[in-house]
Structures are given as structure tokens and as C-alpha cells.
Amino acid sequence: MKQPLLDMRDIVKSFSGVRALNGVSITLGEGEVLSVCGENGSGKSTLMKVLSGVWPYGSYEGEIYFQGELIQASGIRDTEALGIVIIHQELALVQELSVMDNIFLGNEIGSFARLNDEAMHHRASELLGRVKLNIQPDMLVRELGVGQQQLVEIAKALNKNVKLLILDEPTSSLTSADIRILLDIVSELRDQGIACIYISHKLDEVLALSDWVAVIRDGDHIATKVAAELTQHDIIAMMVGRQLEELFPREDHEIGEVVLRVNNATAIQAGASRPQVDNVSFDLHRGEILGIAGLIGSGRTELMQCLYGCYDGQYQATVELDGQSKQIRTQRSALAAGIAMVPEDRKRHGIVPIMSVGRNITLSVLDNYKTNHFSSVFGGVDEDKEYQDIEEYIARLKVKTASPELAIKHLSGGNQQKAIIAKCLLTHPKILILDEPTRGIDVGAKYEIYKLMYSLVKEGMSIIMVSSELPEVIGISDRVLVMHEGKLKGEFDHQGLTQEIIMNCAIKEGA
């Protein structure tokens, strides 16, 4: 190892008496890349929050040395001043501000109240160039997709004098092209002597990028090994404590009649030059898993939002459910029609962060628990019944939480995702839309979600799955639709389907 830049010794961190980290030690040299791997809830993000001062000195046990000095940070400002910059798992940009304002937030160029706009604009363009993001600095962040927002976060980090960059699942929302860009950026930074701690459930990336791989399981440090000497299977075995035979547990199931027929779906934002969804028609069968592939910006998510009544622009589509024409204009009417959706961006659309895990799960079906003793205004809730459902679904989806009463924002990313799936299943939908369902989910939990999907289609549910992970699309779907620039470009049976076929279709121009 080169000269140690970072030395974390015996870190212990507890939350209300429950240990999330149980004496974890890691070290890292200048310009080295360390990946931290582990299942959902194993403690990866907590370790990074300790390192970056989110959890201040004194709130954990153990010591952290950076460039030989003991860190006693009282917040992230202190660690940023040292050159430690963290990009969190959940995006943290201010949606209503411009890209430029976000990049300089708390770090503005210029003196006192008057900021030098021109200099900021220039610097922002330069930083966006470094992350190969071809957008205007004055665009509002909310106009960007999650993938682009992630790159803005990295541009923001580059603006600070970074010596150690921490990326907590940076690529879980990116497509392969964007991932390449990001991995290239990290490699470039490494060549400039900037160290990086990388957290990802994508083990191919981990191996391609890292010098070292540390594995954490249930808050315990299992091992740190030289990446070049590991295979993906080695890492998985250390993560889950057992060998996992197959990644995609395909199960036979019966596919029935058409349950959903969508004709001529079109969606456009006010003032946009081309529609986000452009005259798309397709069928979905009972008991079918329909995969939807395409690059970010191809209109996959927007198409799903139209079906679920939550697209925020102009849209129209002829929708038939079980042969009956249906107008779906709101989420409420979608749920009433038997359509539920697990959204792509769980922070923005999926959860109420400060509400308990349990209430987040029952939120869509609270009416079911209303008691008759009170008027609807002062509606009482049958808490026993609600609690029963919560317990059942927490168990069914193996949501790892200290208690159902815990605010959901405290759950690890993957476990929040499982809670959102639980919430959707409680509405007993006929059609379940999953937009990037395994984003940020570990290999073991992915396997459980695939198993769950098969058990649902066996019960007669139909599933539409949007996914950027091609192995998953191919490994799990019965049939795959490919979108490009709002249009449907291809339809394939999963038999004989390859990543290459999908990619060729996803980038093809013309009709």
C-alpha cells in the first residue's frame, strides 16, 4: 500500500442500542480505489456517514485518521475542508434551483453578497464538461433525469478541493453509457492522486475499478482483499456467507389472455420539441412479466407514468383493461383500476421519509382500516388489522428494520425499496409496474424480489418491469419491449435474446 491517506480504526456505531457497525477498520492510500461491498443494511452507508462527519465525532466509537491526523469532525463542513467529499446514495440536489446554483451552493465564487455570475457560469460549464454532461448550467435540476442529476452531483464534488471522493451507489440509477463515463471519471481522478471509496451492488464495476475490496456483513468487517485476486462469486460468498448458485431463478408460469391493451400513448411536456412518449401501443398478458428496456430518456418511465396517471405533462392513450376502455388520469383511478406502481425515484415519489416504515406500507390502503365507529372526518383506524398487515408484509419482503415504528428514512436504501414494493402489493393490484425495481438492491435481495415476482405472476398478476440492467431484463422477462426516443423500436421473446440485440435496438435511429 502507498502512504496511508485514510485509517479508520474499530468503528462502532449504534442506533438506539442496535449496533449498525461492530468494530470496522479500513485503510486507504493516496490515489487508491476501495470498494465497500455488503448486503442491504450491512452498514456501508453508515460507515461512510461516520467518515464524512454526518455522524459527528463523539457519536461513534473508534478513531479516524486522515493524512495522519485524527479527525474530530462536528459535521460534513469539517470533513469537506479536509478534502473528503461524499455523494450520498439518495440524490440531494435542490430541485428548484439551477444546475449552476446547485454546484456552487454553499461554495459561491465572488465576495459577500455579489456573486460573480459570469465566473460561475464559466466554471460550471467547465465542470459539466469534465463529467461529459452536455447541458446548460442554468437549467433547473428538476428538468434533469436521475442519471443526469447524479453527474451534476459529481461535478459539484469536483468543484471542491477533493482528496477522497466517496461515492455511495453512484451508478444504481445510470445506464451503461453513463456508467462508463462515471467509471472513466473515477479512473482519471485516481491518476491525479485522488482516492475514492466506491459503494456499489454491481460487482462487475467493483472489480473493474478497485484496488481493494472490503466486505461488510451485518456490521462486521469480513475482509479486505486485493481486487485483482477476487471473482464476483468470491465477493458474493463473503457478502451473504454462502454460495449463491444462480442469479436469475426463472420459474415456469402460465401466460394467459390480454389484460391490458395500450393504444397510441403519447406524452409531451409543454414547450418541448418532441414527445417523450411517441405513439406507443402494446399488450400485456395475464401472468406475464413484460420487460421494458431503453436508454435513459427513451421514454420508458414517462410511459409508465401515463399508465399510472401521474405524468406531469400532456398525455393521451387509449387504455383497455380486461377488454373495457378505461380513463386513467390520477393515481387514485389507477389504483382503483388495479394498477400499482413502484416508481423509479423513491425519494421523490415513493416514500414519506419522516413517516414510520409501517405507515409507509399501509399508506395506499388506509381506507381499509377505517372503523365505522367514527365519522370519516375523525376516522378511527383499526390498528390491530393494520399492524397485522404491516407485520405480514415486512416478513414477506424481508424488510430489515429495527421496528415498524422507525421513520422510513432511517432504513437502508434497499430496504426502503422493499417497503415500497410492500405498499404496492397491499393494494392487491392486477397489474404491477416496477420501474427499476432492483436499483440499489443487493444480490441476495434481488434474488428474493425475482422469486417474489414469479410467485405473483403464478397467482395471475401481470408485471411490467422497466430496467436498465440488461442481464436482469433478459433473465427475468417473458417478453421485452425496447424504446428509443419515445418510440417503441422492438419487441422480443426472451428466448435467444442477448444484450447486444437489445442495445442495437435501443440506439437505432429512424422508424
Ligand X SMILES: Nc1ncnc2c1ncn2[C@@H]1O[C@H](COP(=O)(O)OP(=O)(O)OP(=O)(O)O)[C@@H](O)[C@H]1O
Contact, 99 vs 141, CB < 8 A?
Answer: yes
| CB-based closest residue to Mg ion | 45
Whichever of 30 and 345 has its CB closer to Mg ion, that residue is: 345
CB of 46 to Mg ion, least distance (A): 8
CB of 55 to ligand X, least distance (A): 9
Count Cβ atoms below 10 Å from residue 281 Cβ, excluding itself.
12
CB of 412 to Mg ion, least distance (A): 5
CB of 346 to ligand X, least distance (A): 12
Task: Write the DSSP symbol of residue 478.
Answer: S
Site string for ligand X, 390-419 (x = CB under 6 A): ----------x-x-------xxxxxx----
350 binds, among Mg ion, ligand X, none (CB under 5 to 8 A by kind): none
Please, what is the angle between helix 232-240 and helix 443-458, to 10°? 80
By CB under 6 A, is residue 35 in contact with ligand X?
A: no
Q: What is the helix (H) or strand (E) element at residue 462, kind and residue range?
A: strand 462-466
Contact, 352 vs 444, CB < 8 A?
Answer: no
Residues 462-491 that bind ligand X (CB under 6 A): none
CA torsion through residues 11, 12, 13, 19, sign: positive
With CB under 6 A as the contact rule, the residue among 302, 442, 469, 478 that binds ligand X is 442
- Rounded to an integer, what distance in angstroms lies between the CA atom of residue 47 and that of residue 55? 9
53 binds, among Mg ion, ligand X, none (CB under 5 to 8 A by kind): none
Whichever of 267 and 421 has its CB closer to ligand X, that residue is: 421
CB of 481 to ligand X, least distance (A): 29
CB of 418 to ligand X, least distance (A): 9
CB of 408 to ligand X, least distance (A): 10
Place of cell 475482509: 223
Residues with Cβ < 8 Å from 69, sequence gap 6 or more?
none
Place of cell 429512424: 510
- Nearest 5°: the CA angle 150, 143, 350 is 70
By CB under 5 A, is residue 415 in contact with Mg ion?
A: no
Residues 491-510 that bind ligand X (CB under 6 A): none
Q: Give the burial class of 413: count Cβ atoms within 10 A of its Cβ; 0-12 exposed, 13-18 middle, 19 or more buried.
A: buried
By CB under 6 A, is residue 173 in contact with ligand X?
A: no
CA distances from 451 to 112, 371, 422, 456, 506 (A): 57, 35, 14, 9, 28
- Rounded to an integer, what distance in angstroms lies between the CA atom of residue 124 and that of residue 98? 11
What nine digits make up the cell of 142? 428538476
Q: Which stretch binds Mg ion (CB under 5 A): 142-150, 314-322, 409-417, 478-486?
A: 409-417
With CB under 6 A as the contact rule, the residue among 5, 33, 34, 46 that binds ligand X is 46
**Of 302, 295, 296, nearest in space to 265 by CA:** 302
Residues 7-26 that bind ligand X (CB under 6 A): 15, 20
By CB under 6 A, is residue 362 in contact with ligand X?
A: no
By CB under 6 A, is residue 38 in contact with ligand X?
A: yes
With CB under 5 A as the contact rule, the residue among 41, 413, 429, 475 that binds Mg ion is 413
Whichever of 321 and 443 has its CB closer to ligand X, that residue is: 443
Residues with Cβ < 8 Å from 99, sequence gap 6 or more?
124, 128, 135, 136, 137, 138, 139, 140, 141, 144, 152
CB of 45 to Mg ion, least distance (A): 3
Place of cell 403519447: 266
By CB under 6 A, is residue 89 in contact with ligand X?
A: yes
- Rounded to an integer, what distance in angstroms lies between the CA atom of residue 14 and that of residue 131? 37
Please give the backbone phi and psi of residue 154, each rounded to the nearest 5 degrees, phi first: -70, -40
Residues with Cβ < 8 Å from 454, sequence gap 6 or more?
249, 250, 251, 253
Whichever of 79 and 415 has its CB closer to ligand X, that residue is: 415
Whichever of 196 and 319 has its CB closer to ligand X, that residue is: 196
338 binds, among ligand X, Mg ion, none (CB under 5 to 8 A by kind): none
**Of 421, 444, 302, nearest in space to 364 by CA:** 421
Binding residues with ligand X: total (CB under 6 A): 20
Contact, 340 vs 432, CB < 8 A?
Answer: yes
By CB under 6 A, is residue 44 in contact with ligand X?
A: yes
What nine digits make up the cell of 232? 464476483
Residues 38-67 that bind Mg ion (CB under 5 A): 45
- Rounded to an integer, what distance in angstroms lies between the CA atom of residue 420 and that of residue 346? 8
Whichever of 38 and 309 has its CB closer to ligand X, that residue is: 38
Q: Which stretch binds Mg ion (CB under 5 A): 272-280, 342-350, 374-382, 407-415?
A: 407-415
38 binds, among ligand X, Mg ion, none (CB under 5 to 8 A by kind): ligand X
Whichever of 46 and 462 has its CB closer to ligand X, that residue is: 46
Q: Which stretch binds ligand X (CB under 6 A): 33-41, 145-153, 283-291, 352-360?
A: 33-41
- Rounded to an integer, what distance in angstroms lies between the CA atom of residue 479 and that of residue 491? 7
Binding residues with Mg ion: total (CB under 5 A): 4
Whichever of 59 and 107 has its CB closer to ligand X, that residue is: 59
Residue numbers at the binding site for ligand X (CB under 6 A):
15, 20, 38, 40-46, 89, 400, 402, 410-415, 442
Residue numbers at the binding site for Mg ion (CB under 5 A):
45, 89, 412-413
